[in-house]
Amino acid sequence: MWLADNWTDYEVIDCSKGEKLERWGDYLLIRPDPQIIWDTPKTHRGWKKCSGHYHRSSRGGGEWEFFGLPEQWSVGYGQLVFNLKPFSFKHTGLFPEQAANWDWFAGLIRTAGRPVRVLNLFAYTGGATLAAAAAGASVAHVDASKGMVGWAKENAKASGLENAPIRWLVDDCMKFVEREIRRGNRYDAIIMDPPSYGRGPKGEIWKIEDAIHPLVKECAKLLSDKPLFFLINSYTTGLAPAVLSYMLSLEVKRKYGGEVEAGELGLPVSESGLVLPCGASGRWWMPS
C-alpha cells in the first residue's frame, strides 16, 4: 500500500460507522465512506465539534450541514496550494491520498535529466498537474468539465504556477487522445484518473469497465521514444489493482520494458494508527 503520509494540512483523525472525521487545514469535516464498515466508539471530540457534516440519504445522494465552514478555504502540500469548497456528493475538490502518487512521479521528473512532457487526463482540479509542473514538467491538462478546469487554474495561481507551461483543455479525453495521435504529438508521461461513469461535454457516455482498456491502448500510442512513466488511478469498486497492472504490462511494458507495479492508496488514521484504503493505482515506469 502506498501511503500519503507527508501531509501537514490534512489528516484523517478517526473513522467509524461509515464515516470519517478529517482535518482540512483549520476545519473538521465528517464525510461518508462506504469502506468504513467497522463500528468503533466515536470518542474523539471532533465528532461533536465539526465545521461540516455530509449526511448520506437513504434515497441516494445527500446534503451538507454546516457549522461555521466558509464557502472556500485552502490547504497546502509543499509548495502547492489547493482551494477547497464543499460541493455535491460529499467532495471538497481534492483527493489527499493522491499525494502518494504526486511524490512518486515528481521524483521521476526531477531526476530525468531532460524535459518531460506530461499528459493528464480526467485532470479534475489539478493536483497531479500542479505536482508535475512544480517538478519541472510541461503538462497538458484535460478535463471535460469547464468548471473543473477553471478551478484547476485557480489552484495553479494560488501555488505560484500561473506561468508554468500548462495547457488547459476542456475536452472529452478519448477524443483528445485520438486527435493527438493524428497530429503526431507525443508525451513522456501519462496520468489518468477516470471516473466509474461520466459524460463528456457533448453528452459522450463513459463507463470504465468498457472504456478503460481501449483508452490505455490508445494512450500507449502517444508515448515518446523514451517514456518515463504511466499512471492509472481508479476508485471503481471491483476493479482490482492487478487489473491496472495487467493493462500496463500488455500495452506499455511489452513494448518499452521497464517496471510495473499496482496497489492501494492509503491514508493514516491518527486515532487508531491504522490505514484507511482509498482506491487503487497502477504504475509503469522506466528505471534510470
Q: Which domains does the chain have, with CATH numbers?
A: 2-84 (2.60.40.1180), 96-285 (3.40.50.150)
The pLDDT value recorded for residue 196 is: 83
The pLDDT value recorded for residue 69 is: 97
Q: Return the percentage of the chain with pLDDT > 70, whole number.
A: 99
**Segments of the chain with pLDDT less than 50:** none
HSE toward the beta carbon, residue 128, CA cutoff 13 A: 28
The pLDDT value recorded for residue 68 is: 95
Instruction: Give the residue from 266, 233, 262, 280 showing the smallest Cα distance to 15.
Output: 266
Q: In which order are the strands placed within the sheet that holds 189-192?
A: 2-3, 259-268, 275-285, 229-234, 189-192, 117-121, 138-143, 166-170
The pLDDT value recorded for residue 208 is: 84
Beta strands at 275-285 and 259-268: parallel, antiparallel or unpaired: antiparallel
For residue 270 the three cell numbers come to 491518527
Cβ-based neighbours of 43, under 8 Å, separated by 6 or more: none
**pLDDT tens column, 103-115:** 999 999 999 999 9
Cβ-based neighbours of 187, under 8 Å, separated by 6 or more: 117, 118, 119, 140, 222, 223, 224, 227
